């Protein structure tokens, strides 16, 4: 048995699932939660807000301006402000990431719904569609590619930004970076980077697949 430092694979195997809080599998689970919750929450909040901005155009500029201001705020100071309210918890990371995601998604929803041709809306009205039915069966499906394009950006950025939470002890795989900084050792950094990149690629791939399933007419139009 070598007396030198463990190799990357040896370190990974030893620390994957040790039953301790700081194991790689546990950090991966935390990273997924802190990434997915803001994405889902932002989507749920952005859809009605984006719809309101389309219906009431005067609302879009102040809403967009407010979201841009929040997006410009550095995450670390926001974490520090929230600690007094939410403590050193995952919620402290999830709240800012949700607002960051909304800053991207609201314009995507507005652009997607705004791209629906007027004659399509008028045709739906002429066919007797109620406003809700027209929204669900006509407008949202047409807006789906634009909304999902924004969601892809949100997913990748959220997965990346979670690691900043390591500075308050809630960073998922980002905790591997602080661990390597405290005790200079390369394998945790490599595992953290590779893990975050793989999560981002998987999330992006799933959203691309979702877009293909939800918009089959786009593929048919390209094929023709």
Q: Is residue 3 part of a domain?
A: no
Chain centre to alpha carbon of residue 125: 35
Instruction: Report which secondary-structure segment, H or E, holds 149.
Output: helix 140-161
Q: Is residue 109 part of a domain?
A: yes
Predicted local distance difference test score (pLDDT) of residue 1? 47
Q: Is residue 26 part of a domain?
A: yes
Predicted local distance difference test score (pLDDT) of residue 199? 94
Residues in the chain: 224
Q: What is the CATH number of the domain that holds 135?
A: 1.10.3720.10
Q: Is residue 2 part of a domain?
A: no
Q: Is residue 197 part of a domain?
A: yes
SS3 of 23, please? coil
Total of domains in the chain:
1
Give the whole-angstrom CA distance, residue 30 versus residue 21.
10
Q: What share of the chain is helix, strand, coil (3-state, %, to 5)?
A: 85, 0, 15
> Which residue from 52, 188, 139 is spatially nearest to 178, judged by alpha carbons?
188
Q: Is residue 51 part of a domain?
A: yes
Q: Is residue 1 part of a domain?
A: no
For residue 54, give its domain range: 8-223
Q: Is residue 28 part of a domain?
A: yes
Give the whole-angstrom CA distance, residue 103 versus residue 32.
21
Give the whole-angstrom CA distance, residue 211 versus residue 218.
9
Give the whole-angstrom CA distance, residue 128 versus residue 145.
26
Predicted local distance difference test score (pLDDT) of residue 209? 92
| Mean pLDDT per 10-residue section of the chain, whose length is 224 residues | 69 78 85 94 94 90 90 85 87 92 93 85 84 84 90 93 86 85 81 93 93 74 57
């Amino acid at each position: 048995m070598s007396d030198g430092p463990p190799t990357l694979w040896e370190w990974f195997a030893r620390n994957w699932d040790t039953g301790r809080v700081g194991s790689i599998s546990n950090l991966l689970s935390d990273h997924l939660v802190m990434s997915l919750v803001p994405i889902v929450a932002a989507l749920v909040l952005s859809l009605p807000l984006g719809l309101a901005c389309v219906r009431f155009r005067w609302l879009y500029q102040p809403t967009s301006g407010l979201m841009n201001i929040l997006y410009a705020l550095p995450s670390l100071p926001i974490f520090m402000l929230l600690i007094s309210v939410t403590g050193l918890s995952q919620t402290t990371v999830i709240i800012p990431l949700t607002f960051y995601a909304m800053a991207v998604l609201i314009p995507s929803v507005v652009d997607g719904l705004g791209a629906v041709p007027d004659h399509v809306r008028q045709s739906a009205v002429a066919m007797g569609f109620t406003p809700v039915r027209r929204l669900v069966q006509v407008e949202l499906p047409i807006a789906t590619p634009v909304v999902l394009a924004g969601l892809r950006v949100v997913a990748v950025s959220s997965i990346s930004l979670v690691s900043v939470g390591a500075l308050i002890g809630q960073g998922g795989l980002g905790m591997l970076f602080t661990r390597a900084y405290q005790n200079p050792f390369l394998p945790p950094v490599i595992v953290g980077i590779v893990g975050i990149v793989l999560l981002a690629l998987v999330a992006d791939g799933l959203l691309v697949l979702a877009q293909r399933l939800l918009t089959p007419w786009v593929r048919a139009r390209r094929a023709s």
